[in-house]
Amino acid sequence: MPSSLSASRGVIAGVALGALAAYCMNGVAVRRLLAGRVVLWERRSPQVFYVGLFVITFQFATMFNSVRQGVRAAFRLLATALAALFGP
């Protein structure tokens, strides 16, 4: 149960962050500064644009893999130490 609760909290936090990012990026000044350049780049060379976008989003998706692995290893080490001290 606790893992599903934390997963649902993660989803809710992700939705909130996404909504906040969308709200912030929808400002007129931001759209003028960024969106015009991005759309122009997409229209001029769509092949490079979509490959670049894939690489960037893949980087976002895998950015914290090493951190997750480190935390997982630390929890396993802690669980092993506690089990050795207090029994299973």
Asked if 41 and 49 count as a contact pair (C-beta separation under 8 A), the reply is yes
- Please tell me the pTM assigned to this model: 0.46
The predicted pLDDT at position 1 comes to 46
Residue 45 φ/ψ region, left for φ over 0, alpha for ψ in the -120 to 50 degree band, beta for the rest: beta
Neighbours of 31 (CB within 10 A): 13
Cα separation of 12 and 60, whole Å? 18
Question: Would you write out the chain's pLDDT as a tens digit for each of its 88 residues?
Answer: 456 666 788 889 889 999 998 888 888 877 788 888 888 999 999 999 999 999 999 988 888 888 888 889 999 999 999 989 887 6
